[in-house]
């Protein structure tokens, strides 16, 4: 999967180089092409990162099962992060594939995830919910979805078996 993507970027680079060096285009068009290809690179890098299994910088699913987590505590150099691996619950059933998410570090969420992981190690499956956070202030629509969620983790309820 990676080789075709690398080859596609190499082909784009060659075509862009030819257009910039040997075309008769005006200077403004060449500048626009250079800026466009650069912007495209960053969008494509973000999309490819998701395909390679890097944690998604998206909002958590509304309901999920907590599978694992890694905590990067904040330091003077880094703001810290919470990396969680969850399986979304869709229609009461787990999704086919789990997904990794990167959440901004919050001390309360760190404690909540640690408690959930302790229970999961004891064999108690942990279910989480993520709801939009209220009162996020102006320009909330510009922010990443992970900054606007209240996350709760609790024991997964035991399934109700039908009566005989």
Segment 42-61 shows an average pLDDT of 77
- pLDDT at position 115 over 90: yes
In a domain, residue 162? The reply is no
- pLDDT at position 18 over 70: yes
In a domain, residue 150? The reply is yes
- Range of the structural domain that residue 19 is part of: 2-51
In a domain, residue 164? The reply is no
Q: How many domains does the chain have?
A: 2
- pLDDT at position 146 over 50: no
Token pair 């004891």 is found at 122
Residues 36 and 77 reside in one and the same domain: no
Residues 71 and 128 reside in one and the same domain: yes
Residues 42 and 86 reside in one and the same domain: no
d(CA 64, CA 125): 11
Segment 28-32 shows an average pLDDT of 90
Distances (CA, A) of 115 to 82, 89, 133: 14, 21, 22
In a domain, residue 88? The reply is yes
Residues 110 and 84 reside in one and the same domain: yes
Residues 104 and 128 reside in one and the same domain: yes
């Amino acid at each position: 999967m990676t080789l075709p993507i690398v080859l596609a970027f190499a082909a784009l680079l060659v075509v862009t180089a030819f257009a910039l060096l040997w075309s008769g285009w005006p200077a403004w068009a060449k500048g626009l092409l250079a800026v466009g290809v650069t912007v495209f690179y960053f969008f494509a890098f973000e999309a490819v990162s998701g395909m390679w299994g890097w944690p998604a910088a998206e909002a958590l699913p509304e309901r999920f099962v907590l599978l694992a987590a890694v905590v990067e505590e904040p330091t003077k150099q880094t703001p810290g992060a919470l990396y969680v691996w969850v399986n979304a619950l869709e229609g009461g059933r787990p999704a086919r594939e789990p997904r990794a998410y990167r959440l901004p570090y919050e001390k309360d969420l760190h404690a909540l995830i640690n408690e959930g992981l302790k229970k999961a190690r004891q064999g108690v499956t942990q279910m989480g919910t993520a709801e939009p956070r209220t009162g996020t202030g102006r320009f909330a629509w510009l922010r990443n979805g992970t900054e606007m969620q209240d996350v709760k983790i609790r024991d997964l309820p035991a399934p109700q078996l039908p009566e005989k």
